[in-house]
Amino acid sequence: MIRALPIELIVLVGALLLLLGVLVSRASHRLGIPALLVFLVIGMLAGSDGPGGIYFDDHWLAQFLGSVALAYILFAGGLDTSWSTVRPVWKQSALLSTIGVAATAVLVGAFAHLILEFSLLHSLLLGAIVSSTDAAAVFSILRSRDVRLRGNLEPLLELESGSNDPMAVFLTIGFTRLLSDPSASLEALVPQFVIQFVVGGLVGFGAGKIMVWLINNLRLHAEGLYPVLSFANVLLVFGVASVLGGNGFLAVYLAGITLGNHNFLHRRSLTRFHDGLAWLMQIVMFLVLGLLVFPSHLIAIAIPGISVAMFLIIVARPLSVMLTLSPFPMSLAEKAMVAWVGLRGAVPIVLATFPLLAGIAHAQTLFDLVFFIVLASVLIQGTTIPVVARWLRVESPERARAEVLIYEEFVDRCGGELSEITLDQNAPAVGRRIVDLDLPPEALVVLIKRDGTFIIPRGSVALEAGDRVLVAAEAEALEKTRQILQGSNFVVRRRTIPKNPNKCPKG
């Protein structure tokens, strides 16, 4: 057991696994292999059946870590989602997230009942567990594989993957309860699903609004506290929604969308923080889930696992998508692409721990089957998404590019500084026009804040006492600029990166 190992050894092994996951993910990107698959394989190799020899079978801890990690992944996905982009597809997404998930669960359950020696309820439980697409897998592969799809396909896929967990959770818990308590009925659980959806949605939307207000009005004394604030808020939203009977995953996703579609302080730094946090959570989640599985168990269920996985990929998901999207004017190729991007990832593996913790018969076999299905989905669908997009001719001619702001490029290349200089009453620049200051050619006045308003600096603008002047300058010219603006008594806030003389343009 991991808990029996020395703390120092756990920290060392954990750090090595994280580092290995980051390094190997770079190679996997070049080879066209999804990073999620690499993280799973690393976890399996580090486990008791692999050379790592780490024995881990704590299903409660795996469920806990998986749930927390998924919350942060969904929040980061929502934070990067533009409501104006997803608004045209919310109806399609709502149907895919409910009717589509239920249809997939029923189809997979019926097929599993035919080929497996399981009761109908056990088979439906398997279908429910693998019924939803995985947000972590969809966000990761679409955004890291440079895949751009035409029209509204991308927002539809991302919105669906972020919002279809409530139905899968409801079905999984419902069938688990029916198997553990024969006196329970599925009809009695329907109101709970409605409550989960409504409460989760209201908490998520309200929490997003509160987060906007907190970030913009709390006035924390250190900028580094804002990531801590948002980090805590995600856990708080998830916990409050769950305690009130709502779906915590839906709540954090909607909170992320609500926050991301408002103006708030430190937007870029907080977005980057949550993007990095989402990657960390993906690595941790898939490593832990990889540790949880015993590869030797997969051999015994290889044939039925492949059968169910292929039925899910080729029959169940496409049929449910075609049925659900039939009222909408989408081409057959677009619907086929939606069906193919129905990736299964960590969510089914986390849901598969519910029957294990409930002591359901055949729970371990169900878990192994789910893990095999996830591996097949990520390996088959995840590696072929760009190829299928080109084959179906739904690929956008535009390529996703990581946009770098001009000022960041300036700072990175030139080793320049972005400095905020506050002018006092005795500053030599007070009362003088910018054009008359004789600033160094390597320096530029970018923005002026005066009495709560922003002024676009022109040469004719005269500076006043109390002005906060934002200056971009190369490191060598900044000292002279300070002296010209403020003299020897200056107040300055800045960021600096060492200069790279080979990349900094002259003139």
Please give the pLDDT value at position 211.
92
Supply 200's token pair: 């989760």
What is the Cα–Cα distance from 35 to 144, expressed in whole angstroms?
A: 9
Over residues 477-496, mean pLDDT: 67
- For residue 278, what pLDDT is reported? 85
pLDDT (mean) for 30-42: 69
Q: Please, which pLDDT band fits residue 300 given cuts at 50, 70 and 90?
A: confident
Strand order of the β-sheet with 443-450 is 453-455, 443-450, 468-473, 417-422, 491-496
Write the pLDDT tens digit of every residue in 85-104. 778 888 888 899 889 999 99
What is the mean predicted confidence (pLDDT) over 423-435?
A: 86
Residue 321 pLDDT > 90: yes
Q: What is the pLDDT of residue 4?
A: 59
pLDDT score recorded for residue 402: 45
C-beta separation of 253 from 278 below 8 A: no
> In this model, does residue 455 exceed pLDDT 70?
yes
Tell whether the model's pLDDT for residue 317 goes beyond 80.
yes
Look up tokens 């005269």; give the residue. Answer: 462
Helix (H, G, I), strand (E, B) or coil at 61: helix
The answer to whether residue 191 scores a pLDDT higher than 90 is: no
Q: Is residue 295 classed exposed, middle or buried when 0-12, 13-18 and 19+ CB atoms within 10 A define those classes?
A: middle
Across 127-165, b (16+ Cβ under 10 Å) vs e yields bbbbbbbbbbbbbbbbbbbebbbbebbbbbbbbbbbbbb
Residue 243 has pLDDT above 70, yes or no: yes
Window from 251-255, 315-319, 495-499 with minimum mean pLDDT: 495-499
Spatial distance between the Cα atoms of 504 and 416, rounded to a whole number of angstroms: 9
Q: What is the DSSP letter of 506?
A: P
Backbone dihedral angles phi then psi of residue 86, each to the nearest 5 degrees: -90, -15
Q: Distance between CA atoms of 385 and 381, rounded to whole angstroms?
A: 6
**Cβ proximity of 450 and 398 under 8 Å:** no
Distance from C-alpha of 241 to C-alpha of 252, rounded to nearest angstrom? 9
Q: Is the pLDDT at 12 greater than 80, yes or no?
A: yes
Residue that the structure tokens 């751009």 belong to: 148
Q: Are 156 and 162 in contact (CB under 8 A)?
A: no
Q: Which residues contact residue 103 at a Cβ distance below 8 angstroms, ignoring those fewer than 6 apart? A: 316, 319, 320, 323, 324
- Confidence band of 138 (pLDDT split at 50, 70, 90): confident
pLDDT class of 408 with cuts at 50, 70, 90: low
pLDDT of residue 250: 85
Q: Is the pLDDT confidence value at 411 over 70?
A: no
Nearest CA to 68 among 342, 359, 273, 346?
Answer: 346
Which pLDDT does position 166 carry in this prediction? Answer: 78
d(CA 507, CA 502): 14
In tens, the pLDDT along 347-398 reads 888 888 889 888 888 888 898 898 888 888 888 887 788 888 889 888 876 5
Distances (CA, A) of 369 to 60, 132, 374, 376, 475: 19, 16, 9, 11, 60
How much is the pLDDT for 144?
60
In percent, the amount of the chain with pLDDT more than 90 equals: 18
What is the predicted pLDDT for the residue at 491? Answer: 47
Query: With respect to CATH, is domain 406-496 assigned 3.30.70.1450?
Result: yes
Q: Averaged over 224-243, what is the pLDDT?
A: 92
How confident is the model at residue 374, as a pLDDT?
87
Pick the CATH number of 2-391 from 3.40.190.10, 3.40.50.300, 1.10.10.10, 1.20.1530.20: 1.20.1530.20
pLDDT level of residue 77 (50, 70, 90 thresholds): confident
Written in H, E and C, the secondary structure of 141-168 is: HHHHCCCCECCCHHHHHHHHHHHCHHHH
Q: Which amino acid is at 155?
A: P
For 139-160, how does the pLDDT look when each residue is reduced to its tens digit (9 = 90+)? 666 666 666 787 788 888 888 8
Amino acid at 352: A
Q: How many angstroms separate the CA atoms of 241 and 109, rounded?
A: 30
For the cut 90, the answer to whether the pLDDT of residue 236 exceeds it is yes
Dihedral of the alpha carbons of 345, 349, 354, 358, in degrees to the nearest 10? 160
- CB atoms inside a 10 Å sphere around CB 77: 27
For the chain, which residues make up each domain, given as ranges? 2-391, 406-496
Residue 46: predicted pLDDT: 77
Residue 400 has pLDDT above 50, yes or no: no
